[in-house]
Structure 1
Amino acid sequence: MALPIICWGFESAVVPRTLPCICEITAIMDHPSESTFDAFAAYRQAVADVLALAGQTIIVFDPDLGECGFEAPATLALLEAACQRSPRSDALRIVLHDPDFVERDCPRLQRFLCDYGHRASLRISDPGSRSWTQPFIVVDGEHLVARFHPAWPRGKACLAMPSAVTRFSTQFETLWLRGENRAIGSPLGL
């Protein structure tokens, strides 16, 4: 499902934001749906679609965040909007096996994590937990985007289906509790 692009007070597309209108959100909540994808572009679009629905929490597991598109300005704008909307201090939680890609290739995401450190956090998984490799994103405990294998683009998106996210949420909490906090960005030296 492609959602309309809305620019908030900008005439150029410098800060595009993909947000659904209230009638689209209501339609999604009333009609659970499941769809599949088999290309990385479709996966990134599914990620953007569920991030636009975020109201409270976003939990993300990915071995390295290499394919989810979090470095794209439009996706970062969605993460920023979600963190601003959420009243929770744990609005965005991310668990990775390997932070090298984020540290090396994601300066925008690093800046976002520094700016929203009060709402967003990142942990590195415990070496004993690295057998789990299926990337997923769960939004508000009821929307899911999951790939079946980290090397392949095939996966599914489940909207308004809390029963589909239970296994992933439980696995995430296990990874989160065993993981170690990771500061991303440059220390201030204070």
Structure 2
Amino acid sequence: MEKQPFSSRAEFESLLHTCFSRARLTLDLFDPDFGWWQLGSSQMDALLRQFLHGQGRLRLVAHSNARLERDAPRFLHLLRDYSHLIECRLTIPALRQLTDSFVIADGRDIVRRFHADHLRGEAAFDAPAETQISAERFVAVWNDTNPGLHANIAGL
């Protein structure tokens, strides 16, 4: 296992695509608003559809869903098509100070940005020990969330 630092949008997107394409069982995502994630892009839609078609489970936690609702119509369609495998949650106000951003795939791969306003971060693949702290944080945050985005948003 080797950590892969990144500091550009292209590197971040490439590592996200790698992480998503390796996932088989679970994808856990945390970001204040998923603005940098391109979840509505055709490439990300294809990766997520392949993952969900194999019965993978996708869980997202955000402070706000406004950017997804406004900028990611493909993701909203994906949510409609796979609502039984996708769960979107919103943090409670007491957690809105959290500013990191990460995805964990199958408890072994992680891509994380140190601060959601910046693209600097690191990725690690085949590294369960590297995902452990973030995975524990995800569960703790998940337990303090409310229902978020649903398939019926925007008339879906």
Q: TM-score range by the shorter chain?
A: over 0.9
Residue pair 2:69, 2:154 contacting (<8 A) in 1 also: no
Q: TM-score, normalised by structure 1?
A: 0.77
**Are residues 1:111 and 2:77 paired?**
yes
Aligned residue type for 1:38: S
Distance 1:143 1:77 in 2: 20
Shift, 1:139, TM fit: 0.1
Q: For the Cα contact (< 8 Å) 1:37–1:153, is it kept in 2?
A: yes
Deviation at 1:186, TM superposition (A): 3.7
* Contact in 2 for aligned 1:58/1:138 (Cα 8 Å): yes
2:6 is aligned to: 37
Q: Rg: which structure is higher? A: 1
Q: What is the aligned residue count? A: 154
Unaligned runs of 5+ in 2: none
Task: Look up the SS of the partner of 1:169 in the other structure.
Answer: helix
Partner of 2:86: 120
Aligned to 2:54: 85
User: Which residue matches 1:164?
Assistant: 130
One-letter code aligned to 2:50: A
Q: SS of the residue aligned with 1:123?
A: strand
Residues 29 and 60 in structure 2, CA contact (< 8 A), matched pair in contact too: yes
- Give TM-score, length-normalised by structure 2: 0.94
Equivalent residue letter for 2:145: G
Q: Deviations over 1:82-112 (max 9, x none)?
A: 11123x5xx1000000111011111111111
- For structure 1, the 5+ residue unaligned runs are 1-31
1:67 to 36, 53, 64: 36
RMSD (CA atoms): 1.3
C-alpha contact 1:36 1:157 (8 A) present in aligned 2: yes
